[in-house]
């Protein structure tokens, strides 16, 4: 038996050296041996509590490490988000960590698609010198920082503040901007849905089981099992339409009319929570007058959903109040899909208010607040005042409500304009705007015009491919990060293994850039010191949190009687929108474009097994869904001679892609759908390269009023069978 143990362990070691661990689970029977192998391993086995990064939700996970290798990831049962469970992406994390196509060392561009490995010292030195040179020539505002804001965001912003540039810009306009603008102005913040206790739930394009948030899935499934009624409003049979009790295939871009019609019914039939409306809202009479003409019959003509159905769901929703909600949403119709998205989000906010559901069980809720310490004491002197207005005009007189969100999609136009000042340098962190913003071709052209493009990422994404310098970040299983909070819990991301390659945590990279750019005095602290400063009032340290992974701390419950709005109440009539150039109460605005007879409206969205453009090269997830397909209605497909599996060419005014067709009854005849996250053009990413089509290549640069969102589904395309 002893011999067997030794040989088993030796085998494992040998496999690791060869870089091809066959399978620990390869040993099946006889069981005696298998148990012996397990029993022999504990000294080398570890379970590290940390945080997933296969999407942005940041579920608490356990990394199971054996012989120095993460062999498995599971949900951390102590984490309130994962509750011990994970989605496909979370489970597939080892394939991202051990992806052979990962970035392995800093790289410098030496030609089209050609990169040369360089040392960190050289990278920092050259980038730092260039940043200082450009700052001297054009001022600090010439630097823009683009990011999908993650846990590291406070340190990215600190870098920009120290540099003197106001131009930190997130991905919001290609995701949730319109929702945020509406709820920030009307509610003083963006609430979520109490999915666990909701009894009647309507999603407008919010694909709850497609754009997966693990905690939301667990809760909505439990609510459904207890009888909650779920309604999916979507032009296509989305993942959530599969799961929901009913699917209402609305005409794309007209959800606003549906919600206005429902408000009309609820007010006219006195189905609203009158006490809540009186005590906790302002502007009800204005709202009532504003929706007077939006009858269900009016809405039916616009949406294609019959008036009886609109009336029925309005009544059913109201009957279930306050455990009833219409989802504020994320990226869909209340986020960044349509020109009227901010009006839709405002109507959604108003409808929820009529249900009196804010703070109620099964309604909308704000997260509790955790009182962290102030780390500014260790972060150097007070940063200089930022130079000039923001590059994108966010926060200016023209765009007063979106200072926090920016307008990332106009980057290519702004780079060309050089006004009011030139943009010459960009740092892009954890974001792939070439495939996640709009008009990929224009974005690539913009990158080519810049004097300095630096990308910080774990993989050579389509944007990094055009960078002058690519700085490889350690993956989430190899690094620390600033703290995460979930409810009344504080959670730490910490390494499960040492970095496999010459990669670094983002905080080290940012510090390296700062020191090379002459900003040393702002970055004389470690990430651990930063986290300790945050944790100080809670009586915790990073080292203590590292051992337990998740700590329960004191959290303040939100005060729903004093909202962060001018009136302290929900503003059904909202002057801020009037000042910004819009209507006092939610009002109908048609979508920007109407497809002609030979055209389709192009719609896009998420799938459950991939996250944005970050998982297409993950071997497990790639095997489940290697490419996307163009969903097209059988009637329209028949006229074009298109069958499932045919290659088709999809063309918009800014781009063309080729992709396989999927003829399905599950889509509105007016629209075609393409899942986001495919069509990688970087040959280095061998699995993802040239698989499926890139939706962003087709979407023109459009900016919706008030929210500055990208209005991605205001895209018209033609489809033809590819030769």
* Residues making contact with other proteins (CB under 8 A): 21-31, 34-35, 38, 71-75, 84-92, 94-95, 209, 212, 214, 217-218, 221-222, 224-225, 237, 239, 241-243, 247, 249, 304, 608-609, 619-624, 633-634, 664-669
Least CB distance from residue 464 to other proteins, whole Å?
24
Q: Output 186 or 228, the one with its CB closest to other proteins.
A: 228
The Cα–Cα gap between 471 and 448 comes to: 18
* Contact in structure between 386 and 165 (CB atoms under 8 Å): yes
Q: Work out whether strand 364-365 and strand 192-193 pair parallel, antiparallel, or are unpaired.
A: antiparallel
Q: Output 432 or 618, the one with its CB closest to other proteins.
A: 618
The Cα–Cα gap between 457 and 472 comes to: 5
Closest by CA position to 48, among listed 19, 12, 74 = 74
Q: Output 589 or 629, the one with its CB closest to other proteins.
A: 629
Least CB distance from residue 690 to other proteins, whole Å?
18
Range 279-294 burial, b when 16+ CB lie within 10 A, else e: ebbbbbeebbebbeeb
Least CB distance from residue 662 to other proteins, whole Å?
11
Q: Output 439 or 616, the one with its CB closest to other proteins.
A: 616
Least CB distance from residue 88 to other proteins, whole Å?
4
Q: Output 622 or 676, the one with its CB closest to other proteins.
A: 622
Q: Output 222 or 274, the one with its CB closest to other proteins.
A: 222
For the packed helices 296-303 and 307-319, what is the interaxial angle rounded to 10 degrees?
A: 120
The Cα–Cα gap between 713 and 671 comes to: 10
Least CB distance from residue 312 to other proteins, whole Å?
16
Q: Output 35 or 279, the one with its CB closest to other proteins.
A: 35
Q: Output 243 or 469, the one with its CB closest to other proteins.
A: 243
Strand extents, DSSP E, 561-711: 570-571, 600-605, 629-632, 647-651, 656-663, 671-675
For the packed helices 2-18 and 31-40, what is the interaxial angle rounded to 10 degrees?
A: 70
* Contact in structure between 437 and 696 (CB atoms under 8 Å): yes
As a whole number of angstroms, the longest Cα–Cα distance in the chain is 85
Least CB distance from residue 70 to other proteins, whole Å?
10
* Contact in structure between 350 and 586 (CB atoms under 8 Å): yes
Q: How far is CA 602 from the centre of its chain?
A: 20
For the packed helices 255-268 and 307-319, what is the interaxial angle rounded to 10 degrees?
A: 60
Range 218-229 burial, b when 16+ CB lie within 10 A, else e: bbbbebbeeebb
Least CB distance from residue 432 to other proteins, whole Å?
23
Q: What share of the chain is helix, strand, coil (3-state, %, to 5)?
A: 35, 20, 45
Least CB distance from residue 64 to other proteins, whole Å?
9
Q: Output 94 or 652, the one with its CB closest to other proteins.
A: 94
Least CB distance from residue 57 to other proteins, whole Å?
11
Q: Output 25 or 596, the one with its CB closest to other proteins.
A: 25
The Cα–Cα gap between 582 and 574 comes to: 10
Q: How many residues does the chain have?
A: 723
Q: Output 61 or 454, the one with its CB closest to other proteins.
A: 61
The Cα–Cα gap between 204 and 326 comes to: 8
Region for 236 from its dihedrals, namely left if φ exceeds 0, alpha if ψ lies in -120 to 50, beta otherwise: beta
* Contact in structure between 82 and 52 (CB atoms under 8 Å): yes
* Contact in structure between 683 and 457 (CB atoms under 8 Å): no
Least CB distance from residue 55 to other proteins, whole Å?
12
The Cα–Cα gap between 593 and 460 comes to: 35
Least CB distance from residue 210 to other proteins, whole Å?
9
H helices of 30-152, in order, are: 31-40, 88-91, 93-97, 120-138
Q: Output 619 or 654, the one with its CB closest to other proteins.
A: 619
CA end-to-end span of the chain, whole Å?
65
Q: Output 250 or 490, the one with its CB closest to other proteins.
A: 250
Least CB distance from residue 218 to other proteins, whole Å?
5
Least CB distance from residue 401 to other proteins, whole Å?
35
Contacts 24+ apart (CB under 8 A), 394-401: 394/708, 399/580, 399/708, 400/576, 400/579, 400/580, 401/181, 401/184, 401/185, 401/576, 401/577, 401/580, 401/706, 401/707
Q: Output 312 or 371, the one with its CB closest to other proteins.
A: 312
Least CB distance from residue 148 to other proteins, whole Å?
22
Least CB distance from residue 63 to other proteins, whole Å?
11
Q: Output 34 or 118, the one with its CB closest to other proteins.
A: 34
Q: Output 170 or 608, the one with its CB closest to other proteins.
A: 608
The set of residues, in sequence order, having a beta carbon less than 8 Å from that of 687 and lying 6+ positions away, is: 101, 616, 617, 618, 619, 622, 626
The 8-class DSSP code of residue 332 comes to I
Least CB distance from residue 549 to other proteins, whole Å?
18
Q: Output 3 or 112, the one with its CB closest to other proteins.
A: 3
Closest by CA position to 478, among listed 75, 69, 151, 124 = 69
Least CB distance from residue 332 to other proteins, whole Å?
17
User: The tokens 């490419």 sit on which residue?
Assistant: 627
Strand extents, DSSP E, 385-436: 425-429
The Cα–Cα gap between 662 and 82 comes to: 34
């Amino acid at each position: 038996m002893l011999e067997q143990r030794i040989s088993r362990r030796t085998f494992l070691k040998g496999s690791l050296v060869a870089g091809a661990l066959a399978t620990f689970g390869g040993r099946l029977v006889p069981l005696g041996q298998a148990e012996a192998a397990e029993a022999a391993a504990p000294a080398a086995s570890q379970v590290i509590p940390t945080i997933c990064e296969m999407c942005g939700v940041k579920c608490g996970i356990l990394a199971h490490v054996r012989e120095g290798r993460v062999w498995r990831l599971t949900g951390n049962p102590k984490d309130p988000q994962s509750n011990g469970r994970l989605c496909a992406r979370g489970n597939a994390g080892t394939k991202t960590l051990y992806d052979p196509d990962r970035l392995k060392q800093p790289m410098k561009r030496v030609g089209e698609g050609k990169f040369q490995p360089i040392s960190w010292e050289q990278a920092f030195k050259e980038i730092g010198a260039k940043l200082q040179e450009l700052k001297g020539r054009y001022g600090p505002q010439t630097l823009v920082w683009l990011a999908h804001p993650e846990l590291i965001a406070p340190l990215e912003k600190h870098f920009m503040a120290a540099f003197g540039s106001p131009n930190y810009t997130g991905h919001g306009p290609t995701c949730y901007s319109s929702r945020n603008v509406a709820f920030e102005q009307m509610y003083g913040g963006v609430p979520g849905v109490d999915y666990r206790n909701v009894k009647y739930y309507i999603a407008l394009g919010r694909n709850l089981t497609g754009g997966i948030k693990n905690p939301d899935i667990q809760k909505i499934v439990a609510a459904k099992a207890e009888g909650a009624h779920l309604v999916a409003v979507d032009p296509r049979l989305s993942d959530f339409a599969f799961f929901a009790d009913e699917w209402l295939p609305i005409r794309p871009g007209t959800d606003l009319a549906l919600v206005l019609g429902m408000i009309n019914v609820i007010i006219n039939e006195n189905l609203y929570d009158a006490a809540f409306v009186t005590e906790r809202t302002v502007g009800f009479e204005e709202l009532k007058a504003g929706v007077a003409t939006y009858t269900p019959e009016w809405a039916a003509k616009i949406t294609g959903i019959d008036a009886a159905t609109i009336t029925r769901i309005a009544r059913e929703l109201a009957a279930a109040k306050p455990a009833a909600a219409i989802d504020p949403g994320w990226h869909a119709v209340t986020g960044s899909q349509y020109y009227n998205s901010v009006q839709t989000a405002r109507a959604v906010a108003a409808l929820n208010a009529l249900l009196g559901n804010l703070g109620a069980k099964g309604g909308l809720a704000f997260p509790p607040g955790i009182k962290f310490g102030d780390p500014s004491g260790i972060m150097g002197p007070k940063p200089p005042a930022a130079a000039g207005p923001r590059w994108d005009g966010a926060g200016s007189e023209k765009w007063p409500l979106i200072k926090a969100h920016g307008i990332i999609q106009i980057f290519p136009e702004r780079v060309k304009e050089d006004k009011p000042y030139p943009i010459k340098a960009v740092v892009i962190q954890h974001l792939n705007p070439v495939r996640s913003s709009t008009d990929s071709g224009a974005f690539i052209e913009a990158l080519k015009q810049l004097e300095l493009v630096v990308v910080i990422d774990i993989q050579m994404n389509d944007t990094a491919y055009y960078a002058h310098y690519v700085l490889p970040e350690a993956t989430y299983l190899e690094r620390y990060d600033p703290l995460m909070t979930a409810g009344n819990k504080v959670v730490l991301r910490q390494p499960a293994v040492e970095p496999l390659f010459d990669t670094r945590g983002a905080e080290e990279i940012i510090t390296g850039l700062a020191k090379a750019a002459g900003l040393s005095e702002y970055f004389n602290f470690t990430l651990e010191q930063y986290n300790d400063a945050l944790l100080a009032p809670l009586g915790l340290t990073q080292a203590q949190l590292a051992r337990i992974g998740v700590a329960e701390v004191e959290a303040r419950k939100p005060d729903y009687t004093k909202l962060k709005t001018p009136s302290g109440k929900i503003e059904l009539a909202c002057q801020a929108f009037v000042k910004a150039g819009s209507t006092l109460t939610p009002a109908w605005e048609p979508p920007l474009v109407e497809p002609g007879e030979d055209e389709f409206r192009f719609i896009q969205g998420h799938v459950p097994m991939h996250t944005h453009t970050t998982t297409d090269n993950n071997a497990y997830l790639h095997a489940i869904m290697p490419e996307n397909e163009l969903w097209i209605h059988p009637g329209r497909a028949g006229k074009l001679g298109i069958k499932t599996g045919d290659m088709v060419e999809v063309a918009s005014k800014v781009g063309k892609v080729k992709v396989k067709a999927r003829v399905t009854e599950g889509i509105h005849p007016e629209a075609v759908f393409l899942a986001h996250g495919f069509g990688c053009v970087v040959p280095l990413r061998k699995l993802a390269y040239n698989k499926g089509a890139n939706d962003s290549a087709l979407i023109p640069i459009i900016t919706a009023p008030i929210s500055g969102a990208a209005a991605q589904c205001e895209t018209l395309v033609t489809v033809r069978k590819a030769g």
